Structure 1
């Protein structure tokens, strides 16, 4: 069945899955880098249970296999995102491509936020911390279920990969809320006068404020960076629409520059203020607490 070094061993993962799940499996989600894992598993599963779908998962920023299958030949990427470094390849293997183009039923693409949300899901469920490429298949399964409104089906997600690098944990925890669509980020321009911030909080309709950044810049207007807890995309859209009725507002929830850098850049000195005093306050973590403060 398998003719390349490494592929027979990877194919045994498919055998192990079928032995552990002797009942029906609707689909198996498999991360794709060079294509060896999915080629090996797909070869075995499609021979023994051809009705089971093989669904590959790639990051948007490292989608060499999907582009290759779409074009009908191997495609070499000009650049590759390295967040999920275990699957960050410029070009898939020749033999793995030959197998995958005939055996894969579908490829799902996911972004960084969805990967981070899946890392959090796995930690809360199993207390295991997966690296990004290890959580890729879980993110793909979630995306597939949401896009296709799937219910009452049995899925398997292969969570391969090494351990998480400790220095990435902070980034993952910040991005997980956005990936779960539980946080929206807005940039709002308000008048630089007493009471403006209170009015902004009132116009947020008692939303749970998760992050707030502001720094005096001039006497005319202020730029406020605010994170808001939301229940889903519709809730975020409603809040955004409400803010636009009163302020010049940008929705930065899905802006990479904002998520990676802008939220940390508020601060610095201004020549307009010579008698500034810095205070630190603690208040309850609940909706409305900031307005009460």
Structure 2
């Protein structure tokens, strides 16, 4: 294990030519809120606003020594891995080809191109990542290119472990974390950090945080082998991985499945909004995973403990902010959607509005169709300041004889008409 510590130390030292260490900050707000000593490792403050640059740098710096100067580096990614890859290719002055799905938002394409400059070529292939990844592999094979994996390689794992090396150096003298919260997608970061902490001999426990819609580590630990998920929710795009890396699972399979926390996507949105409003910290969904998981830890079990959280990324497209706020309100019970059978007569709307309380607001009102000559189906979105107000409204609606359906938690209907 001492060999691993040495390898990580060398990787970290070499990275300093590219970027300085990210800060480890004690967060007073979260510490007070949860009654613990909470520290944030701010990987959202790397040059590409995520930790992915570490693994890409370590892999490419090693590969350069083994391949011809004309060799092309290749990756498939629509997110943080592509940006870290591009930044490193420019640093070394080596050509890199990034394969992205055709559906990749223009903002991500532009950022990757900006980080890589003249050294990066971007190819848009396929509607989904699997098609894009297959095309990248075919290209690398045909051109003799070097594939740079996002997480499933020991070189990547060693690079990501530099996060732990910095944490160990930055903590106050003699302070050892009793608990570390690590976001998990493909598992490269979690594998590297746990391996390094184990090598140090710290008695630290871990919690591995995944989005509820992409529980690849949880399912794999339950089954005792890697499980490929049939489908994933892509909202937490930085951690929505269908299958954990093979090398990563070899390391993480030593931990109990009870150490995995699956975070609801809509609840996560509340944490993103909270950190933006209270702390002024911009986080992408994956970057907020570890912070959100604090809500699942019994306060009596973490009281007074030193806890380190890895904030994995801050590449947030503010065009997504309305959706994030919407999801947070729905999770907190402050916004609901209804389909009402609305009578087509004068005064009906006024009668409906009179039922609303002073803290209730109509956020959406839309006729879907006239289901009969005298009635129409209306989509109504209502926001309120206190979730308990909806119980009052429900009673008023029933007493007034309104026919309606609450579709807030009906995902099929909500996705179709909201």
Q: Give unpaired runs (5+ residues) of structure 2.
A: 8-153
Question: In the TM superposition, what is the alpha-carbon distance from 1:74 to its structure 2 partner?
Answer: 0.4
Alpha carbons of 1:24 and 1:125: their partners in 2 closer, same or farther (altered >3 Å)? Answer: farther
The aligned counterpart of 2:252 is 100
Structure 2 contact 335–381 (Cα < 8 Å) conserved:
no
Q: Equivalents in 1 of 2:338, 2:385: separation in Å?
A: 12
How many residues end up aligned between the 2 structures?
A: 258
1:165-180 matches, cutoff 5 A: 165-180=317-332
The one of 277, 295, 313 aligned to 1:124: 277
Alpha carbons of 1:169 and 1:205: their partners in 2 closer, same or farther (altered >3 Å)? Answer: closer
Question: In the TM superposition, what is the alpha-carbon distance from 1:257 to its structure 2 partner?
Answer: 4.4
1:135 paired with 2:288, answer: yes
Q: Equivalents in 2 of 1:5, 1:175: separation in Å?
A: 37
Question: In the TM superposition, what is the alpha-carbon distance from 1:123 to its structure 2 partner?
Answer: 1.1
The aligned counterpart of 1:281 is none
1:236-255 matches, cutoff 5 A: 236-237=390-391, 239-240=393-394, 242-245=396-399, 246-255=401-410
Alpha carbons of 1:207 and 1:192: their partners in 2 closer, same or farther (altered >3 Å)? Answer: farther
Alpha carbons of 1:175 and 1:153: their partners in 2 closer, same or farther (altered >3 Å)? Answer: farther
The aligned counterpart of 2:350 is 198
SS at match of 1:5: helix
Q: Give unpaired runs (5+ residues) of structure 1.
A: 264-293
Q: Equivalents in 2 of 1:237, 1:48: separation in Å?
A: 53
1:8 paired with 2:161, answer: no
Structure 1 contact 57–137 (Cα < 8 Å) conserved:
yes
Which whole-Å deviations, capped at 9, do the CAs of 1:208-229 have from their partners, x for residues lacking one? 2151313272542233312222
How large is the Cα RMSD of the aligned pairs?
Answer: 2.9
The aligned counterpart of 2:311 is 159
Alpha carbons of 1:71 and 1:214: their partners in 2 closer, same or farther (altered >3 Å)? Answer: same
Question: In the TM superposition, what is the alpha-carbon distance from 1:40 to its structure 2 partner?
Answer: 1.8
Q: TM-score, normalised by structure 2?
A: 0.54
Q: TM-score, normalised by structure 1?
A: 0.74
Which whole-Å deviations, capped at 9, do the CAs of 1:46-83 have from their partners, x for residues lacking one? 55432x43111112221111110111110012222222
Structure 1 contact 187–251 (Cα < 8 Å) conserved:
yes
Q: Equivalents in 1 of 2:348, 2:186: separation in Å?
A: 54
Which whole-Å deviations, capped at 9, do the CAs of 1:182-241 have from their partners, x for residues lacking one? 323333333332333333333344442151313272542233312222434x55455445
